[in-house]
Amino acid sequence: MSLKVYINGEFFDKENAKISVFDHGFLYGDGVFEGIRSYSGKIFRHREHIDRLYDSAAAIALTIPMTKEDLMAAVEETLKINGLSDAYIRLVVSRGMGDLGLDPNKCEKPSIIIITDAISLYPQELYENGLDIVTASTIRVSPAALSPRIKSLNYLNNILAKIEGDRAGCKEALMLNHKGEVAECTGDNVFIIRREEIFTPSIEAGVLEGITRNAVIELARNAGYTVHEMPLTRFDVYIADECFLTGTAAEIIPVVTIDSRKIGTGRPGPFTKELIAKFHTITGK
Ligand code: PMP
């Protein structure tokens, strides 16, 4: 059976799941999206993802022509129709079809697209041995220009950093912000551990407020750990005992070197391992 894709209330076979070349999502990256996971048929933090999507949309003055409840039901239905229980779900809302000009008012109706797919995690070996990352020279877009809290269809800033990481032989790259502080990686939030306390850049550093980031902060605090959301620099990462990244697709993945320097012992540390185990208890994996 071919994979079914939801477009504006209808299901299409993967081969026929198409949108117009006049869609401003395509022409200008004018739109927002979410990457969501389901574990054993249960969507992880569904409401948080939907809330973030509507916030991203509000920030770009895009009105999603559906209630949150109806959109959540459409996501559930797309999963069900595809017979998937452990899946990655891509929810996209673009400005819709317009003319070749920028004017979003010429776009009559936003396009709503739901794509489900198998999960593509990092290879298991990297969860056991950790990732090598580099600091990219491409800085994160300044929140004064365009807030990285908006999960928009324009990922060029991250893609440029991703290319740098790739050329250095790394699967992720650390991005600094316009002030030279640590922001996040190209598709993941970043955490460090130092003297048994956990640190992550605050949202004001200009980062996406990751759903996984928030889940990890919550579970770490519930386990009695101190979590600081504060400005961090590369210095802090270089002297950290442990480092890990969080994201919907990656979950929690250890980082063992940055810029060819070992972090801590150069092996995934005990705190990271404990948080990974705790995270699995909340996803039920
Ligand atoms: N930062 C960026 C830039 C991202 O694109 C993502 C999502 N892939 C994340 C962080 C992690 O966010 P979440 O935990 O909500 O997936």
Minimum-distance ligand 1 atom for the alpha carbon of 212: 14
Helix and strand totals (H; E) in the chain: 8, 15
What pLDDT score was predicted for residue 118? 85
Q: Which atom of ligand 1 is nearest to the CA of 186?
A: 3
Residue list, ligand 1 pocket, CB within 6 Å: 35, 158, 184, 187-189, 208, 210-213, 246-248
Length of the chain measured in residues:
285
- Nearest protein Cα to ligand 1, atom 2: 187
Phi, then psi, of 92 in degrees rounded to 5 = -125, 130
Bridge partners, residue 258, by sequence? 133, 261
Q: pLDDT for 240-283, tens place per residue?
A: 999 999 999 999 999 999 999 999 999 999 999 999 999 999 99
Domains of the chain, start order: 4-117 (3.30.470.10), 124-283 (3.20.10.10)
Q: Which residues of 1-20 are buried (b: 16+ CB within 10 A; e: fewer)?
A: eebbbbbeeebbeeeebebe
The model's pLDDT over 65-106, given as tens digits with 9 standing for 90+, comes to 999 999 999 999 999 999 998 999 999 999 999 999 999 999
Catalytic machinery residues: 151
C-beta of residue 184 within 8 angstroms of C-beta of residue 201: yes
What global pTM score does this model have?
0.97
Rounded CA-CA distance 64/81 in Å is 23
